Amino acid sequence: MIKIELKDGKVLEFEKGTKVQDITKAISPSLLKKAVGAKVNGEVVELMTAINEDSKLEVLTFDDEEGRETLRHTGSHILAQAVKRLYPNVKLAIGPAIENGFYYDFDADFSFTPEMLNDIEKEMEKIIKEDLSLEKFELPRNEAISFMEEKEENYKVELINDLPEDAIISFYKQGEFTDLCRGPHVPSTEKVKAVKLLSIAGAYWRGNEKNKMLQRIYGTAFTKKADLDQYIHMLEEAKKRDHRKLGKELDLFSIHEEGPGFPFFHPKGMVVRNLLENYWREVHTKAAYHEIKTPIILNEELWHQSGHWDHYKENMYFTKIDENDFAIKPMNCPGSILVYKNSLHSYRDFPLRLGELGLVHRHEMSGALHGLMRVRCFTQDDAHIFMTKEQITEEILNVIKLIDSFYKVFGFEYFVELSTRPEDSMGSDEDWDAATNGLISALNSAGLEYKVNEGDGAFYGPKIDFHLKDCIGRTWQCGTIQLDFQMPERFDLTYVGSDGEKHRPVMVHRVVFGSIERFIGILIEHYAGAFPTWLAPVQVRIMNITDGQRDYVEKVAEKLREVGIRVETDLRNEKIGYKIREAQLQKIPYMIVLGDKEMKEGKIAVRSRKDGDIGALNLEDFIFRMRAEIEQKINSL
C-alpha cells in the first residue's frame, strides 16, 4: 500500500500502481469529471499516470494554469490530427500550449485560408466527439527516427536528431494519428469540449529567419462552450479597443517606416503623457523621492561592470565616440548608481530614493513590435532605493502601498507574482536567499496573496511583479520591485554606518507604470479611448447652432481655459446633430451646445459622454463640477 497526501492534508491509502484518475474517482466522482491532470510531488502528470510510492497529490482542473496548459496541449494535437486528415501531405512542425490557447506550425505547399480554418475546426469537433484515447509509448532514439522517417515527417526527425543518442523518445497516439511529444495530455479528446481556431500567421522554423517560413495556426480550447463564447466576446471587444486603431482615430500617436518601433506622440498624446508624468512626480515628491536625469549614452565599460554586457548585450545598441565604444542604455540603474557614488553617504541618509523618468532603448525583433505595447525606445518610471538590510521589509512595504495607490486611480485590479533566481544569474546563494526572504517578508506583511514564478527573476535579484487586470479581463505585467545585492557589490557602493565603519547598502529597483508608452497603450484599451475627464486630451468641446453664437462660444471657451480646462471649439457650418456625433466619436467627456436661448439666458447646455443630456447650467456651476471631477481623478469606468 502507498500513502497519498491530498492538498488539504488528508492522507489516503491505495494499492501500489494505482492511477491518478482512479485515486481522483475515489476522492470524488464529480472531481474526476472536472479533472484534466494532476501534480504528484509538485510535478505535473497525466490522469493516466500510475503512482508507485508515497506521494503528495494535487488534482488539476481547468481553473488551474497547469490544467489549462494540459488541456490546450491536447487541443494542439487535435488540430494537427484534423489537418492531416484533410490535407495528408502537410508536414508537421511543433504545437505547444501557450497563454490563452495553443498553436501548431505546418509546412504546406498552399496557403491556409479562413475557409480552410472553418473546415479544420469542424474536423476537430468530430475528433473530440470520437472520444479518442491518448496513449503514450516510447522508443529508443534510432527507432524513433525510423518511425518518423517512415511517416516522412522531416521536422520531427530533425528534433529527434538533436536529442542525446541514449534518449528514450515519447510519442502520443490518438486514433490513426501519432505525434512526437513529451506530454502531458488529458486522457481523451472528449475532455476538450470546446475549440476555436483564431488566426493564421507566418513563423520561421525554430524561430530562425534563415530557416523556412511555416504557417502557424492559432487556436484555443475550453471545457465549457459558455466559457469559449465569453472568451470570443472578449477578443471581439479587444479588437474594438485596439490601441493602434484608437491611437490613429483619436490622433494620439503614430509609428512610421522611418522609425520602426520608435513611437511619435502627437499633441493630444502628449497631453495624456504629460498628465501621467506630472501625477507620477506629484506622488513621488510626497513619498520623499528625489528626481534625477541620467544620460542616454554611456561607455561600454560601465555595462561590463554592471553585468548587462554578459546578460543583455544582444538587446543593446552601440555607437562610437572619439574612437571609444559606447552603449545606448537599455536600463537606468547604472546611471542612478553613478549619481549615488558621486557623494559620500551615511546611514542617516537612508532610505535614499532616487526616481527617474529615463528613456531607454532595447533591440526588439521586428516581428515582435506591436504599437505602444512592444517598442524599441520607451520611458521607464524607474526608482532606485538605497537602504540598509534592516530597512528592507519596511521599504518594500512602502513601495507596495505606493503602487497600490497608483493602480486604484485608474480602476485596475491586480495580482502579484514573486519571481525567484534564474539560471543565468550572478551572486552568492546567501545573497539570493536573503533577497528572496526579504521580498516574502514584505508580501506577507502587506497581506498580499502571491504566486511563485520559479526562475523568472532578474539576473541580479528576485522580484515582485504586479499584473494589472483591465475591464475586459486581460492581464498586463506593469509594476515590478527588484531587490538587488549584486549591483552594490559590483560598483563597490558604501555608506558609513552608526559604528563609523563602511558598509554595503542594499538596492531596490522598481517601476510603477513600467513603460509609460506601454501604460498609455494599456489605458487606451482599458478605457476604449474614453479617458476619464482628468486624463482626457480634450475635456470639453463647445459648439454653436448658428453663426450668431460664435462670439459667445469664444467667451465661454476663454473662461474655461482660464481655470485650466482643456477646450476645443467647433464653429463649422454643420448641423448640431452632426457636431455632437463627431464629439462623441472623439470620446470627449463633455459637450457644450450654445444657441440663441443659452446666449440670451447667459447659460450653457451641457451633454455628458457618460450621462447624455444634462440640461442648462450656469457656467460657474459647470466649472465647479468639472474641477471637482478633475481634482478627484474620478474614474469613468
Which are the catalytic amino acids? 333, 362, 380, 382, 384, 463, 509
Sheet containing 413-419, strands listed edge to edge, beginning at the edge strand earlier in sequence: 290-291, 352-361, 377-387, 506-515, 475-484, 463-469, 413-419, 450-453
CB 569 within 8 A of CB 543: yes
| C-alpha 256 chain-centroid distance | 24
As a dihedral over the C-alpha atoms of residue 231, residue 233, residue 234, residue 239, rounded to 10 degrees, the angle is 130
| C-alpha 543 chain-centroid distance | 41
Q: Which three cell numbers stand for residue 269?
A: 498624446
Q: Which three cell numbers stand for residue 81?
A: 490530427
Go through the chain and tell me how many residues it has. 637
CA distance 176 to 281: 63
Terminal alpha carbon distance of the chain: 58
Q: Are strands 290-291 and 352-361 parallel, antiparallel or unpaired?
A: parallel
Q: Which three cell numbers stand for residue 136?
A: 503514450
DSSP state of 166: T
Angle between helices 267-286 and 392-409 (to 10 degrees): 140
Residue with cell 484534423: 82
Distances in whole angstroms, Cα of residue 496 to Cα of each of 72, 488, 491, 616: 56, 14, 16, 66
Residue with cell 528576485: 462
Please tell me the number of Cα atoms within 13 Å of 523 on its side-chain side.
26
DSSP state of 589: S
Beta bridge mates, 590: 540, 608
Cis preceding linkage at 351, omega within 30: yes
Q: Which three cell numbers stand for residue 135?
A: 496513449
Q: Could you write out the DSSP letters of every residue in 359-394?
A: EEE----GGG-BTTTB-SEEEEEEEEEEE-GGGHHH
Angle between helices 267-286 and 516-526 (to 10 degrees): 110
597: Cβ contacts below 8 Å, ≥ 6 apart: none
Cis preceding linkage at 263, omega within 30: no
CB 565 within 8 A of CB 623: yes
CA distance 123 to 117: 10
Distances in whole angstroms, Cα of residue 393 to Cα of each of 79, 427, 452, 501: 49, 21, 18, 23
